[in-house]
Amino acid sequence: MVKRQVGAMGGVGGPVPDPYVTGRVADVDWAARAGRAERAIVRRYLRRLGGVVPGTRIGRIRWPRLPPVKPWPWHYWWQAHLLDCLVDAQLRAPRPGRADTIAAVARTVRLRNLGSWTNDYYDDVAWFGLAVQRAGTLARRSARPVLGAVTVALRDGWSADCGGGIWWRRGDDFKNAPANGPAAILLARGGHVGLAASVVDWMNDTLLDPATGLIRDGVRGGPDGLVRAVEGTVYTYCQGVHLGACVALADVDGDARWAARATALMDAIGSHVVGPDGVVPGYADGGDGGLFNGILARYLADAALRRPDLAPAASRIVLASAAAAWAGRLELGGGPVFAQDWRCPARSPRPGRAEADLSVQLSAWMLLEAAAAVQRAG
């Protein structure tokens, strides 16, 4: 599930001096920094299912986690982004041990999800499908059944209500960008171009704010099947998934509207989302909101790698945000801890602080992998 309300926050203290900065942001070894983030997060959060089940690997929700240890809540979609980050790391620096971990995480999600690859939330399903799709053969025997189950679920989630689009959740009246954006990316990459195009057209026609050019959160349908209310909040990850969907369709479909929409959204992100320093702003707390900025960074990097015309603007935002997140990190126990707002210094993680949440740390790891990817591409 994705929480509906997040807001801006301030910070306390000062940033950790960065001994690695010797010149321009682009001259930094972002791969090395991504590796440091990976090692810290894997050491702190990755564990066996229930702490005991052999051959399993899954991400704990918080660190440090004090007793009593409870099995709930179950954040299925956080595990999808943990898997995505592990795939990023394997692309950056392949290792057999990490490949085993990727397969184990994919397998363990099903065990933890009571034997099912899917749940009632179409956004959760789409995120997990995307991560497994990217993992490909690294997911081993999980890949084919995951993609089959997820594709069927997303097709079932489409309806004509509210003019089209995929529901956020089974039995709900809400259709939103966080369900439709990742679904469209997965469908486009998987060869289901017609449905992906319909999803992205619906997002553009229904969720685009004409005043800013940004994607709003979602719409609520009425009993007559028409839109009865627009949820107008603008979240960073809504921009990321729409950008990613337009870029994915531009790769596989020759229609010029996908590239044009990606360009327009990139301009809107530069004008209305990032500040003058080019850094993606943060949110008030952790939880689900902790992942929002990392998702935008992932698809900015994807756009930079796939669309040369978008590369300068997208790369600037990714690298500026990565520099800010790294400068504000807290070094704890030999590894970095990151703030949920990359413009602010990180605090020591403890219960009730966003820095303890897996979501917040994954977001920064995603950002650093994005920086390393755009750096590799030159």
pLDDT digits (tens, 9 = 90+) for 172-208: 999 999 999 999 999 999 999 999 999 999 999 999 9
| pLDDT value for 259 | 98
Beta strand pairing call for 58-59 and 46-47: antiparallel
pLDDT at position 10 over 60: no
Write out the two tokens for 70: 């409870």
pLDDT digits 0-9 by tens, 283-307: 868 999 999 999 999 999 999 999 9
* Cα 80 from Cα 115, distance rounded (Å): 16
pLDDT at position 14 over 90: no
CA distances (Å), origin 174, targets 78, 161, 166, 234, 250: 21, 10, 9, 16, 28
| pLDDT value for 378 | 85
Domains along the sequence of the chain with CATH: 25-376 (1.50.10.20)
pLDDT at position 240 over 70: yes
Please provide residue 58's backbone torsions phi and psi, each rounded to the nearest 5 degrees. -155, 160
* Cα 106 from Cα 169, distance rounded (Å): 22
| pLDDT value for 26 | 65
| pLDDT value for 72 | 72
Mean pLDDT for the chain overall: 92
| pLDDT value for 66 | 72
Tracing tokens 């960074």 back to the chain, one arrives at 297
pLDDT digits 0-9 by tens, 85-117: 999 999 999 999 999 999 999 999 999 999 999
pLDDT digits 0-9 by tens, 28-50: 999 999 999 999 999 999 999 99
pTM: 0.93
| pLDDT value for 69 | 65
Beta strand pairing call for 330-332 and 58-59: unpaired
* Cα 182 from Cα 273, distance rounded (Å): 20
Contact of 178 with 2, CB cutoff 8 Å? yes
Quick one: what percent of the chain has pLDDT higher than 90? 88
Residues in Cβ contact with 185 at an 8 Å cutoff, skipping those fewer than 6 apart: 130, 196, 241, 244, 245, 248
* Cα 373 from Cα 297, distance rounded (Å): 11
| pLDDT value for 8 | 32
Quick one: what percent of the chain has pLDDT higher than 70? 92
pLDDT digits 0-9 by tens, 49-81: 998 999 999 999 999 987 766 767 899 999 999
Write out the two tokens for 156: 């079932």
Mean pLDDT of 352-357: 95
* Cα 274 from Cα 71, distance rounded (Å): 37
* Cα 14 from Cα 330, distance rounded (Å): 10
pLDDT digits 0-9 by tens, 246-288: 999 999 998 999 999 999 999 999 999 999 999 999 886 899 9
